[in-house]
Structure 1
Amino acid sequence: MKIATYNVNGVNGRLPVLLKWLKEAEPDIVCLQELKCPQEKFPIEEINNAGYNAIWKGQKSWNGVAILAKGHEITEVQNTLPGDSDDEQSRYIEAIINKIVICCLYLPNGNPYPGPKFDYKLSWIKRFKRRTNQLIKMELPAILIGDFNIIPTEKDVHKPEKWEDDALYRKEVRNAFKDLEKKGWIDSLRKIYPNETIYTFWDYLYRAYDRNAGIRLDHILLSPYLADSLITAGVDKHVRGWEKSSDHAPTWINIKTDL
């Protein structure tokens, strides 16, 4: 089974790119972030015509998340991250597909640091860790997948010295990522490619993509109960080079499904 994540950076404006990639890559499950559209504007007809079912939580501005599945039913579990009833941002959606819990997330950016946006990021991470601990305790096959807005290590960033005070690379958030790994969550891309330079995001400015001056923000973490199912993983870097593409590239894994 091929499972992917893609921060599409505006699902309607980049719909031709998304559909082209779906046809080319043929993923079974796709998690999307940064839909940038209200609930009623999600392009469900076009997604269905491409062969995918979908659940989503849209939101105007920078947020919105969705889960797509081809040939599988989607059972929605959560459409918001538990723990704060006042949080109205659309950044989390959770579903069961083929007996696997799929947790699609768009973790807050947190910039500028320091400030209230970074404080919100830390509070969101705290709630997220509580949910991930619950999933571990329930011994469920689960996947944390999406745009984490966390650069885990210096291997995951071009010129790390320039990012020391950026919310994506602050010690607090990198430690939070390490805490997930200590709890048993497996960074699938790093399990397959432990030492390689692999990025998933390239800024539109300064010819970042041409120079491969990127960062790795998009992650797929497997619960311990899926550890032995991982076959391979990768990043469709070439999609970032398509005309009118997102500044992120799709990231994917292949897993065995005989759970």
Structure 2
Amino acid sequence: MKIATWNVNSVRQRQPHVTRWLEINSPDLLLLQEIKCETRAFPAESFSSLGYESVAVGQKAYNGVAILSRLPFTVTQRHLPGLELPETGEHQARYVEVEAGGITVGNLYLPNGNSGGADGYAAKLAWMDALTAHARTLLAAETDFILAGDYNVCPTDDDMAPGIMGADDALVRPETRERFRALQWLGLTDAVRAVTPRGSVYTFWDYQAGCWPRDRGLRIDHAMLSPRVAERLLDAVPDRAVRDEVQPSDHVPMVVTLR
């Protein structure tokens, strides 16, 4: 079973890239983040022609998540449980979850936390706390699951090029890393580090300052596996070649292969 996650930074702009990647790699599920379109504008028909049915949770111009699947699936969540609704009664489009192939697959786009001052960072931490609580609920129900997507977290200094970010960046602040470790302390496995325990394994390179040609990247796209799913893990690796394409996303697909 092959499950991939990819922040595409606008699905309409990157639709040819996604189509080409699907044709070459044929994952069972592809989790997309930052689709940047309303749900009704998601190009489901173009992916359906490739054999993928989809569910999208979008909003105009920002955020947005979607799951494409070759397997039959049931939608189990369209937002992250436990987060309070804002006054508008609407959630930011940052989470969608399905059950497919006997595994619950949560696709997440975690807030960056660097905008909005103290309130923006507090919202990031609250989101991470809700994610941990949801993982705890799934574990208590003995559910096999994967929580994958753009976490906007560099878990350790090994997950970023030296000197690329200051210590006050929301992606590396101690409170951020503590909450990522909280998922591990629950018993979840960081798929990439289970396969490659040390060294640079990047999933994101900024468009600025020659980050891609200089390989000054970050590992911020993760797949966290529940215990029985972790036992099935064969590989977890980013597809770096995609970053060399014309007008690419600043992220590349990260592919998890299970036996």
Partner of 2:133 in structure 1?
130
Equivalents in 1 of 2:117, 2:63: separation in Å? 22
Partner of 1:17 in structure 2?
17
| Paired letter, 2:65 | V
- Report the CA distance between 1:112 and its aligned residue: 3.5
**Normalising by structure 1, what TM-score?**
0.96
Matched, 1:74 2:73: yes
| Paired letter, 1:38 | E
Deviates more, 1:109-118 or 1:237-246: 109-118
- Report the CA distance between 1:22 and its aligned residue: 0.9
2:164–2:216 Cα contact (<8 Å) kept? no
Name the SS for the 2:91 alignment partner.
coil
Equivalents in 2 of 1:56, 1:13: separation in Å? 16
Partner of 1:147 in structure 2?
150
| Paired letter, 2:97 | E
| Paired letter, 1:239 | V
- Report the CA distance between 1:7 and its aligned residue: 0.3
Equivalents in 2 of 1:112, 1:40: separation in Å? 28
Equivalents in 2 of 1:161, 1:201: separation in Å? 12
| Paired letter, 1:168 | L
- Report the CA distance between 1:136 and its aligned residue: 1.1
Aligned length: 255
1:54–1:74 Cα contact (<8 Å) kept? no
Partner of 1:100 in structure 2?
103
Matched, 1:253 2:256: yes
Name the SS for the 1:115 alignment partner.
helix
1:112–1:167 Cα contact (<8 Å) kept? no
- Which of 109, 114, 123 aligns to 1:111? It is 114
Partner of 1:187 in structure 2?
190
Name the SS for the 2:207 alignment partner.
coil
Equivalents in 2 of 1:187, 1:232: separation in Å? 11
- Report the CA distance between 1:161 and its aligned residue: 6.9
Which 4+ stretches in 1 moved above 3 angstroms? none
Equivalents in 2 of 1:166, 1:85: separation in Å? 27
1:158–1:214 Cα contact (<8 Å) kept? yes
Equivalents in 2 of 1:21, 1:181: separation in Å? 31
- Report the CA distance between 1:169 and its aligned residue: 0.8
| Paired letter, 2:79 | T
Partner of 2:34 in structure 1?
34
- Report the CA distance between 1:163 and its aligned residue: 2.7
- Report the CA distance between 1:61 and its aligned residue: 2.3
Give the gaps of 5 or more residues in structure 2: none
Name the SS for the 1:253 alignment partner.
strand
Equivalents in 2 of 1:161, 1:78: separation in Å? 36
Name the SS for the 2:153 alignment partner.
coil
| Aligned CA-pair RMSD | 1.2
Query: CA-to-partner distance for each residue in 1:26-48, whole Å, 9 max, x for gaps?
Result: 11111100010011110011010
Equivalents in 2 of 1:114, 1:132: separation in Å? 28
Equivalents in 1 of 2:163, 2:144: separation in Å? 34
Matched, 1:3 2:3: yes
**Normalising by structure 2, what TM-score?**
0.96
